[in-house]
Chain A
Amino acid sequence: MRTDTLIELLARDAGPAPRALAARRLAPAALAGLLASGGIAVTILGAIPAPMFASHVPWTKIAYAGALALATGWLNARLARPAASADAPRGLALAVFGAMVTLGAATLWAEPAELRLSALLGQSWKTCPFSVLFLSLPTLAAALWALRDLAPTRPRAAGAAAGLLAGSIGAIGYALHCPEAAIAFVAAWYTAGIALTGALGAALGPLVLRW
């Protein structure tokens, strides 16, 4: 087929380009992932006792992970487009992370020195990052699937962004199960789980995001 013929074929009756394609692909992926990870956290891992929802415990985590999910969702939308700059969403994600670390360090500092380590490690520091990773897998699959229909030209970066978004959403789900109360715990181990998912996404990106 000659190139002219192909152009004719593509242009004929092409109609308008789909609008806001990145948002229309990524938002349902994120939403489906959120429902999946929340559902698994509540049904398989078990929810925290109901009275705890009146305390700050789950809400601090959800606010942190939710803010990260918004920033990294924006990052995905940028990396899904050739030539778009990712600086602003990356800066926002780092600012959210920085604020949480500062808050965690401040609360830790306020504790008596001999209690600091146990506040930081809690009861579940060893399992927390892996639980977050586990709960983020549905979103990771959905986000990578969504990116394949968009145009990520930096597959490793886009894969990492998909992983960070998935990790943030997995962390929201995990907040429904996790009874740890220390902000420093969340800043350290939730973030570790999100970073772990980001690393998995970065490893998968070049393999999966081929088009």
Chain B
Amino acid sequence: MNADASPGDFESGLKPLWLRAQSGDAAAYRLCLELLAARLRGFFKRRLVGLPDAVEDLVQETLLALHLRRGTYDPELPVTAWVLGIARHKLVDLWRRRGRRDALHDPIDDVAERFLAVDPEDGGAKRDLDALLRELPPAQQRAIVLTKIEGLSVAEAATRTGASESAIKVQVHRGLKRLAARVRSVDPT
């Protein structure tokens, strides 16, 4: 499936992949996030005409939010509708943080039409997630670096740090949560 499939095809291709991702298939999850990132970039680019620099930051912010809240996905719903709900929320949040009100008037319902644009080109984020990662509390930072960047398994990271496996998982989750919160409070542009 291509990222530039029509909205209906995109959903029917994405859904089985997403369900596999939800049940723990990391490769399927990575592919879903890549496909969604291209759609999100197109979606935000068309809505942030005056703020092109904010597009990639918002894509990254939305991906983080999707990841942290993926337990709220309900298989009865189209994946695109769920993702778009979060993307719109992030857009409204950005406008609010920048003191603009009522900048957004498009209705929520016509999901398919609004998820048409695709943009695989990473325009470069202004906000430095690496730097924000380094500001996390040491235990959270270490758990993320070991499991997510160095690619150790949770068990290996547990042996390396002397923490339990569930403690490592908790630290990773808390660290990403804190990262997402920090991302909202640091506006780079």
Contacts and interface: CB of A to CB of B under 8 A. Distances in A.
B99 to A, nearest CB: 15
A83 B72 CA distance: 11
Interface stretch (A7-15, A64-72, A92-100, A172-180): A7-15
B29 A14 contact: yes
B125 interface: yes
Contact of B89 (A20, A22, A82): A82
A11 B26 contact: yes
Chain B binding surface SS class: helix
A1 interface: yes
A82 B62 CA distance: 13
13 contacts: A1-B125, A3-B122, A11-B27, A12-B151, A14-B67, A15-B24, A22-B72, A80-B72, A81-B77, A83-B84, A83-B108, A151-B85, A210-B184
Contacts of B108: 83
Contacts of A3: 37, 56, 59-60, 63, 122, 125
Interface string B152-173: 0110000000000000010000
Task: Categorize the interface residue count of chain B.
Answer: 35 or more
Nearest to A152: B89
Nearest to B153: A13
A210 B65 CA distance: 12
Nearest to B152: A13
Interface of B: 21-24, 26-27, 29-30, 33-34, 37, 56, 59-60, 63-65, 67, 69-74, 77-78, 81-86, 88-89, 93, 108, 111, 122, 124-125, 128-130, 133, 144, 147-149, 151, 153-154, 169, 176, 180, 184
Nearest to A78: B74
The 3 A-B pairs of least Cβ separation, nearest first, read: A82-B85, A21-B71, A18-B71
B175 to A, nearest CB: 11
Greatest chain B CB density within 10 A among A1, A2, A14 is at A14
Contacts of B33: 7, 10-11
Interface residues of A, number: 32
A4 B56 CA distance: 11
Nearest to A209: B89
Given A14-B21, A17-B73, A211-B65, 15 more contacts: A1-B60, A1-B128, A1-B130, A3-B59, A6-B63, A7-B34, A12-B147, A16-B23, A16-B24, A20-B71, A81-B82, A82-B82, A83-B84, A83-B108, A153-B86
B91 to A, nearest CB: 11
Contact of B72 (A1, A7, A12, A151): A151
Contact of B86 (A1, A6, A151, A210): A151
Nearest to B80: A83
A84 interface: yes
A150 B169 CA distance: 19
Contacts of A18: 70-71
